[in-house]
Structure 1
Amino acid sequence: MLYFQLVIMAGTVMLAYYFEYTDTFNVHVQGFFCYDNAYTKPYLGPEASSAVPPAILYAVVCGVPSLLITAIESVLFLLQYVSEDLDNREKIIVMGDCCYLNPLVRRTFRFLGGQRIQGHFQGVYAFGLFSTDIFVNAGQVVTGNLSPHFLTVCKPNYTALGCVQTARFVNQQGACTGNEDDIMHARKSFPSKEAALSVYAALYTAMYITLKVKAKGTKLAKPLLSLGLMCLAFLTGINRVVEYRNHWCDVIAGFIIGGAIAVFMVLGVVQNFKGKSLLNEIPPEESVVSGIPMMGQPRIMDNTMEKYISSQNPITFAEVT
């Protein structure tokens, strides 16, 4: 199952790459009416000149959730480690006879990269992020919806197209005379990728903070941090409209896609971040055979094994003498 899940993750990443950086999928060429005011907004330059450039957006949606989850899991682990409840402390997991998995690493990895460590690697957040990108790119390729500044970068020859006296509908392939890259990007407006990715990252992180942090005195801190993240995502969508890079319907659709995928990942995949204990995941008959741990099987480094062996093979004083 581990290799199968790795193959799925690799396939998702590759599909996102082909959508983003190759011409494997042709964008639908949507026609337009001459002098349509909906597509004559000014062009404010490439995406790199935006108030929220792609480099910063991708760095934030990838880095901020990872840092927050790592910090929270570290604090939760340290609080549990220094607690007096020794029975509820997480144990060090031994994978075979060579590898040791620290419980802090296990907790952080489970919520950043997967639901369970033992044989079930699922890149929950990363998988959802790439899935959001795929959904958005697929929508853009299929619809070919025009950006508000499409006619500005298209620069159609209205005289050659017969638009001098009537606003006729134009759907010819060679109707535009502007830069081909700008024209192609202007045909990929619906839904808004920036809105979808920002809302996915913000909502996933907000739900994690709300469901995992149970400390006293955080009743206002949790909603403040969560609403702050959602506000940043909302401002990202507004910026797309203000800069005439997307329509309102594009941004709203991006919000819906990113939010839906985030909710599905939290509720359906990681199940509200309530991971099962590895002690409950390992059946006794698989982890112990005749009192001897099987080669390659995970086991818990505490006195559970000794209790199990003593219960199966009690040694009396008479047998010793």
Structure 2
Amino acid sequence: MAGTVMLAYYFEYTDTFNVHVQGFFCYDNSYTKPYLGPEETSAIPPALLYTLVAGVPTLVITVTEAVLFLMLYTSKDPDSRRKTIVTGDCCYLNPVVRRTFRFLGVYVFGLFTTDIFVNAGQVVTGNLAPHFLTVCKPNYTALGCQQALRYISHQEACTGNEDDILRARKTFPSKEAALSVYAALYLAMYITCSVRARGTRLAKPVMALGLMCLAFLTGLNRVAEYRNHWSDVIAGFIIGVAIATFLVVCVVHNFKGTVLLSEDPQQESVSSGAMMSMPRVESPLEKYMASQVRANHVHSI
């Protein structure tokens, strides 16, 4: 995690990695779109996007895990209560704390990984924004652009603001699209896999599709404001979806646990040992539902 954070920092705030200087053709219509101002004036400014991407999943996962644990704790099944504490060699670790930190840790790792992939693509390609020539302000007469097919490749061709020109050279893939779809997909799969309460059969897909819709609107806004091409947004979507899917399926295993419930004290001790050796813990709601099914069965007998 520390290495990932440091690499993301070097990409974002240092000039360790130089952006590839990509040339352009004189009067190329693909790069003459109007410049609508800095990123802070966008309909979805970076501060708002980063706050939502970092805050909403953290809040939803923390609250959901706390609610699931409370449902388990208030259960009348003493066997379920006895398994709510994971015993280690030197400490007592609450399962809800363990699960919450694991899910949030993987999520934060994925955020920085997505940022690294996006920054690496932007640095290597140096793809030009739709408004590049507007901020570049090339002197066409000095460059000899009597013909539109003349290709300009040297960096000194631009006379505009250097910071605006540098940002206009870093558009592929779209960072906003990648981060938004990663956060939306991770949270949608968490809600779908973890929440198994009654009455949520329709609520869960509605929430998941709503999150994905917001991510799509973020990419659409980038194109509408001439800050990214469609290819930049699609590439960002692919990166975000790929990283979120990999982490959920292969790292946190669809947010499911493996702890077994048993009436045999011997098997219970074996399960407790396995609990500490395995990196996954069963969802508290799954324990609660299993205890309710077992209690109903005993009552019917």
**Which residue is 1:47 aligned to?**
39
| Mapping 1:293-312, distance limit 5 Å | none
Q: How many correspondences in the alignment?
A: 266
- Is structure 2 residue 213 aligned with structure 1 residue 231? yes
Aligned to 1:58: 50
2:162 counterpart of 1:171: no
Aligned mate of 1:72, from 64, 79, 88: 64
Instruction: Output one character per residue of 1:162-188: Cα deviation in whole Å (capped at 9) or x when no partner.
Output: 003443110012010000110010000
- State the alpha-carbon separation in 1 of the partners of residues 14 and 37 from structure 2: 22
Take 1:23 and 1:103, find their aligned partners in 2: how far apart are those partners?
Answer: 43
**TM-score, normalised with respect to structure 1:** 0.79
1:35 counterpart SS class:
coil
Residue 194 of structure 1 is matched in structure 2 by 176
Offset, 1:85: 2.5
* Cα distance in 1, alignment partners of residues 71 and 123 from structure 2: 49
Q: Tell me the CA shift for residue 73 of structure 1.
A: 0.6
Q: Which runs of 5+ in 1 are unaligned?
A: 1-8, 114-123, 287-321
Partner of 1:24, secondary structure, is coil
Off by >6 Å, runs of 4+ in structure 1: none
The reply to whether residue 111 of structure 1 matches residue 85 of structure 2 is no
Residue 145 (str. 1) matches residue 136 (str. 2): no
Q: 2:86 aligns with which of 93, 100, 114?
A: 93
What's 1:37 paired with?
29
> Equivalent residue of 1:55, what SS?
helix
The answer to whether the 8 Å contact 2:28/2:148 transfers is no
Q: Does 1:125 align with 2:107?
A: yes
Q: CA deviation at 1:283?
A: 5.7
Q: Identity over aligned residues, as a percent?
A: 74
Instruction: Flag the structure with higher helix content.
Output: 2
TM-score normalised by structure 2 residue count: 0.84
Q: How big is the shift at 1:275? A: 2.9
Task: Compute the displacement of 1:205 (Å).
Answer: 0.3
Closer, same or farther: CA 86–186 of 1 in aligned 2, 3 Å: same
Distance 2:101 2:148 in 1: 62
Q: Deviations over 1:143-196 (max 9, x none)?
A: 000000000000000001000344311001201000011001000010000000
2:9 corresponds in structure 1 to 17
Q: Tell me the C-alpha RMSD between the 2 structures.
A: 1.8
Once residues 163 and 3 of structure 2 are traced to their aligned partners in structure 1, the CA distance between those partners, rounded to angstroms, is 27
Alignment correspondent of 1:282 = 273
Pairwise CA distance, 1:91: 2.6
SS state at 1:275 partner: coil
1:19 to partner: Cα distance:
0.4
